[in-house]
Chain A
Amino acid sequence: MKNIPDELIQRAAAGDEAAFEEIYRLASGFVYAVSYRVTGKRHDAQEVTQDVFLKVHANLKKFEKGTYFKAWIYRITVNTAINCYNRNKRRWSREADLEGMVETSGESGDAEKNIEKEEREKRVEEMLARLGPEQRACLVLREIEGLSYEEISAALKVKLNTVRTRIKRARETILGHAARGDKNEVR
C-alpha cells in the first residue's frame, strides 16, 4: 500500500471529502486485492472494500497523526474479509471467479499475455483456495503485499511466531498440493 501522508489524514479527519477520496485512491488497490484473495469472490471483495472505507471514514479522527494508519487499515481489511468469507462460505461454491478479472485489450498481440495472466491468476486462486482464511491472509500480506512478519504481526495483532507458523503451514499446504499435482501430470 502506498504511503498516506499525515497531512492528508488530518484534512480528511477535518471533513475534507477530496482528501478522503485521495486516501481511497491510495489504499483501495491494496484493500480490494487482499479482500479478493481472502474471500475468493469479486462481489464479496467489493462489499468488503466498501465496509472498510466506511469504517475508515467513521474513525478518521483517531488517526490524525497517521502513525498506525496503515497497520489499522491492514487489520480491518483482513478482519472484514475473513468475516465475509466465513459468513458466505456455505452460500458460495468455491469456484474460480476469474471472468473479467483480467481485462483484455482486444488486440491479438496481447491475447497470449492475457492468457498467461489468466493462467497465473487461476493457479494462485487454486492454491489460496486450499488454505484457511487466516493462513491465506498471512500469505497474501507476505507474498503479494510484501509486508514483513513484524508488520503482519502488528496489523493482525497476533504474535510473531503465530505469523511464522501460519506462513509455514500455508506454504507446506501449497507445496503438498503442488507435489500431488506434479505426480498426476507425470502419470
Chain B
Amino acid sequence: MKCDKVRDIIITDYMDGRLTGAAALNIENHLAECRECREYHKTMLKKTSELFEGLEPMDPPQEVWEAISGKLYKKKERSIGIRDILVSLIPPRRIVLAAVSAGLVFVLLSGVNVWRIYDRGLTQKYMEMQLNYFTDKDTEHENDAAFGSVIEDIFM
C-alpha cells in the first residue's frame, strides 16, 4: 500500500477508530514496516487529537438563560393580555344565566303589559264607538232604527 494513501487513511478513519478487521490490520502492518508513516501518525496524534484532550466543558453565563426566558416570557405575557381581554368580554357562565333569566322575565312582564295596554285600547275604542253610536244624532243612524223594523212591520 502506498504511503500517501495510508496517510490519508491515518489522518481520518484510522485516527477516529473507524477501521476494523482486515482494513485496520493492513494499516497496522504498514506502520510496523514504515518508519515515516509511523512518525507521521505519532505527530498527527500529538498535534491534533491530543491538543483537544482535557478541554474544560463550557457553560453559558446565566444572563443567556435570562435573556431567553425574558423574550419567551414577554411573548407569553402579550398573549395572556389579549386572552384576558377576550375573557373579560365574555362573562362567567352564572352571570350569563342570571342575565338571560332576568331578560326573559323582563320580556314576559313587558309582554303582559303591552297586551294590557293594547287590550285596554281596544276596549276603549269599542266603548267610544258605542257611545258615538248612541249619542250621535246623525240621520244615518236613524236608518239603523229600522233595523229590526221590518220584522216589526211583518209581525206587528
Contacts and interface: CB of A to CB of B under 8 A. Distances in A.
Interface residues on B, range: 20 to 34
Q: By CB atoms of chain A within 10 A, which of B13, B18, B65 has the most?
A: B65
Q: By CB atoms of chain B within 10 A, which of A17, A127, A171 has the most?
A: A171
A171 B48 CA distance: 6
A33 B58 contact: yes
Contacts, number: 88
B43 A175 contact: yes
B48 A143 contact: yes
A21 interface: yes
B8 interface: yes
Contacts of B16: 142, 148-149, 167
Given A50-B71, A120-B55, A143-B52, 20 more contacts: A21-B65, A29-B57, A31-B60, A32-B58, A32-B59, A33-B58, A50-B67, A54-B71, A117-B56, A120-B54, A121-B56, A144-B52, A148-B18, A164-B13, A167-B11, A167-B12, A174-B47, A175-B43, A175-B48, A178-B47
Going nearest first, the 7 A-B pairs with the smallest beta carbon separation are A32-B60, A178-B47, A143-B52, A33-B58, A171-B48, A49-B60, A29-B59
